[in-house]
Amino acid sequence: MIVASNLTKRYPGGYEAVKDVSFEITAGQMVFITGHSGAGKTTLVKLIASIERPTAGSLVVNGQNLSALRRSAIPYLRRHFGMVFQDQKLLFDRSVLDNVLLPLQIVGLPRREAIRRAQAALDKVGLLSREKALPIALSGGEQQRLAIARAVVNRPTVLLADEPTGNLDTESATEILELFVAFHQVGVTVVVATHDQNWIDRYHPNVLRLDHGRLL
Amino acid sequence: MNAWLSQHRAALGAAFRRLWATPLNTLLSLLVIGIALTLPGFGYVMLDNLRELGQSASGVQQISLFMNLDASKKDVGEIESRLKQAATGKWHFVPKEAALKRMQANEGMAEIVASLPRNPLPDAFIIEPTNAEPAALEILRKEIAGWPKVAHVQLDSAWVKRFDAFLKLGKLALWMLAGIFAAGLVAVTFNTIRLQVMAQAAEIEVARMIGATDAFIRRPFYYFGALQGALGGLLAALLVGGALRLLAGPVGDLAALYGGSFSLRPPGVIEIAALAGAGAILGWLGAQLSVSLSLRKFD
């Protein structure tokens, strides 16, 4: 599903965030990318989502080599992913429901069907009763659950998250984690970058441990 | 196909909502675009009216043939037979006496004519050639001028040609004016869209991140530009129509003073559609330029 071989990302200026990393993530796995702050977790997630391009090595996602991917093909690749960011990247000018509708509008789903699916996704993360609220009115944990609803509404094959619990208290973080585990259990490949050791101790997922850009 | 349609419908809806969301901005942009389109639009309608006036006034092309004052009945007969031979078209003879009578009938002329010691008018022929091409008329005029006892041959289309030349000049000036204002319209749209792209930076970034194509991101801006331009065009048509309405009374009075009847023709459906269409195309162009430049920073 996701195969990296000798993957390297060097930023302009010469800083190597990811160095010579090789790994394979198979479909349906739950994988945690961990490591200290600045170890290259975020860069690795960005590489997988083709937000960044590798400088050396190869990264193959769903059989497509990302280094050779045309610019116009990137949007279609990203639709396989559900993306969850530490800073959620919600749109604060529209309702909770409209935030979740955005990915479905992008793929051009008819409105009625889109609303049905968006409500189902909100129900899954426990926010259906808040569908008309504006994101600003939600708590931190609720905002992150909204981000997860938006990530899964298009039924992605991979759920990709970068420090999804970074700003949350333990209770909210556990709720988020439970959601990821639930999606993993229904067959979604889950890749989560986190520095939170508690999670790993509790759920024993496959772990990619990074240290200064190298895989340990 | 369905997805494609629904995406376009959504983009059009978004464009309408954006216009509606900032009524004051929208009104100001529409005014600028409307005024920019009004000037060339008004000029076009005026020229069109003048052209029509010229056409109806020129009517049939005529050649007037004036004989020498001393020409005899025999000379007139000679010209008649030559005209018959040349078979150039319809013609009729106007004897000098008849011409004088017609002149007397004109208001204010009777006294002047009565005071004349003798008839100053020559015998004349009015010829309506079948071939009204300017070049053919010119050849005919030259030929007739060479006939005996012919004092003067006048091509009555000369003023039509001058009028035509004037209209052509007017048209050229109008196109230049239209070009300048079109550039202005593109610039206005460019700026409006640039501000919108900046205001929606967050939405664009998120949409990109979750798999939106360039076309998906650009589409609402294109619709917005085209819609704004089209509405500006309609406003321009309204302004032109209003201006013509205000002018209609005075123009009618003026025409009546010259003993004619002439009414300004307001812009028709085709002209209104052309204004809206031109606005839409220029707006789309401005949006295209603006989005292409503004979206670069998201790469």
Taking only the tens place, the pLDDT of each residue in B254-271 is: 878 876 667 777 888 998
- Chain A hits for B213, CB-CB cut-off 8 Å, are 72, 75-76, 106
Q: Whose CA is closest to A75, among A55, A100, A99, A103?
A: A103
- Chain B hits for A103, CB-CB cut-off 8 Å, are 210-211
Q: How far is CA B89 from CA A33, A212, B61, B126, in A?
A: 99, 102, 11, 11
Q: Which residue of A has its CA nearest to B11?
A: A105
* Residue B26, amino acid: T
pLDDT confidence of residue A132:
95
Q: Look up residue A30 and give its two tokens.
A: 């739950």
The gap from C-alpha A125 to its chain's centroid, in whole angstroms, comes to: 16
Q: Whose CA is closest to B66, among B125, B118, B143, B148?
A: B125
B233 neighbors B226 (Cβ within 8 angstroms): no
pLDDT score of A102 more than 80: yes
Nearest to A103 among B202, B205, B211 (CB): B211
Q: Look up residue A56 and give its two tokens.
A: 């050396």
For CA atoms B192, B193, B194, B197, give the dihedral sign.
Answer: positive
Q: Which residues contact B121 (CB under 8 A, 6 or more apart)?
A: B96, B99, B100, B103
A203 neighbors A194 (Cβ within 8 angstroms): no
A77 neighbors A50 (Cβ within 8 angstroms): yes
- Chain A hits for B211, CB-CB cut-off 8 Å, are 75-79, 81, 103, 106-107, 154
Q: Whose CA is closest to A84, among A24, A33, A151?
A: A151
Classified as helix, coil or strand, A30 is strand
pLDDT confidence of residue A3:
93
Reported residue count of chain A is: 216
Q: Which long-range contacts (CB under 8 A, 24 or more apart) does B102-108 make?
A: none
Cβ pair A75:B208 closer than 8 A:
yes
Q: Which residue of A has its CA nearest to B199?
A: A93
CA–CA dist B125, B106 (Å, integer):
20
Top pLDDT among B12 and B90 is at B12
| Confidence category of residue A83, pLDDT binned at 50, 70, 90 | very high
| Confidence category of residue B55, pLDDT binned at 50, 70, 90 | low
| Confidence category of residue A97, pLDDT binned at 50, 70, 90 | very high
Q: Look up residue B8 and give its two tokens.
A: 């376009």
Q: How far is CA B41 from CA A24, B30, B37, B50, B172, in A?
A: 66, 15, 6, 14, 14
Cβ pair B6:A111 closer than 8 A:
yes
- Chain B hits for A154, CB-CB cut-off 8 Å, are 210-211
pLDDT confidence of residue B56:
64
pLDDT confidence of residue A59:
94
- Chain B hits for A104, CB-CB cut-off 8 Å, are none
Cβ pair B202:A91 closer than 8 A:
yes
Q: What is the mean pLDDT of residues A179-187?
A: 92
CA–CA dist B10, B8 (Å, integer):
5
| Confidence category of residue A101, pLDDT binned at 50, 70, 90 | very high
Q: Look up residue B97 and give its two tokens.
A: 């006496």
Percent of chain B whose pLDDT exceeds 70: 93
pLDDT score of B145 more than 90: no
A102 inside 8 A of chain B by CB: yes
- Chain B hits for A42, CB-CB cut-off 8 Å, are none
CA–CA dist B235, A141 (Å, integer):
50
CA–CA dist B163, B51 (Å, integer):
9
Cβ pair B211:A109 closer than 8 A:
no
Q: How far is CA B54 from CA B49, B175, B259, in A?
A: 9, 21, 16
Quickly count: other Cβ atoms within 10 Å of residue B134's Cβ: 13
pLDDT score of B109 more than 80: no
Percent of chain B whose pLDDT exceeds 90: 28
pLDDT digits (tens, 9 = 90+) for A137-169: 999 899 999 999 999 999 999 999 999 988 788
Domain boundaries of chain B, sorted by first residue: 2-58+161-298, 63-156
B6 inside 8 A of chain A by CB: yes
pLDDT confidence of residue B72:
82
CA distance A147 to chain B (A): 11
pLDDT confidence of residue B58:
55
B94 neighbors B126 (Cβ within 8 angstroms): yes
Cβ pair A79:B3 closer than 8 A:
no
B96 inside 8 A of chain A by CB: no
A39 neighbors A212 (Cβ within 8 angstroms): yes
pLDDT confidence of residue B140:
82
For CA atoms B128, B129, B132, B133, give the dihedral sign.
Answer: negative
pLDDT confidence of residue A96:
96
pLDDT score of B2 more than 80: no
Q: Which residues contact A146 (CB under 8 A, 6 or more apart)?
A: A88, A90, A96, A99, A100, A122, A125, A127, A135, A138
Nearest to B207 among A92, A102, A109 (CB): A102
For chain B, the average pLDDT equals 85
Q: Look up residue A145 and give its two tokens.
A: 């659950």
Cβ pair B211:A150 closer than 8 A:
no
Q: Residue B46: how many CA atoms within 13 Å on its side-chain side?
A: 14
Q: How far is CA B127 from CA B59, B77, B88, B130, B227, in A?
A: 13, 15, 8, 9, 56
Topology of domain B63-156, per CATH? Answer: Alpha-Beta Plaits (3.30.70)
- Chain A hits for B207, CB-CB cut-off 8 Å, are 102, 106
What are the b/e assignments for A166-187, b being 16+ CB within 10 Å? eebeeebbbbbbebbeebbeee
pLDDT digits (tens, 9 = 90+) for B222-243: 999 999 999 999 999 999 999 9
pLDDT digits (tens, 9 = 90+) for B157-186: 667 777 778 888 988 999 999 999 999 899
Candidate from A131-135, B27-31, B126-130 with smallest mean pLDDT: B126-130
By DSSP bridging, strand A158-162 and strand A81-84 are parallel
Q: How far is CA A154 from CA A118, A122, A173, B299, in A?
A: 9, 12, 23, 24
Top pLDDT among A116 and B156 is at A116
Classified as helix, coil or strand, B63 is strand
CA distance A112 to chain B (A): 11
A124 inside 8 A of chain B by CB: no
Could you tell me how many CB contacts below 8 A there are between chain A and chain B?
A: 62
A187 inside 8 A of chain B by CB: no
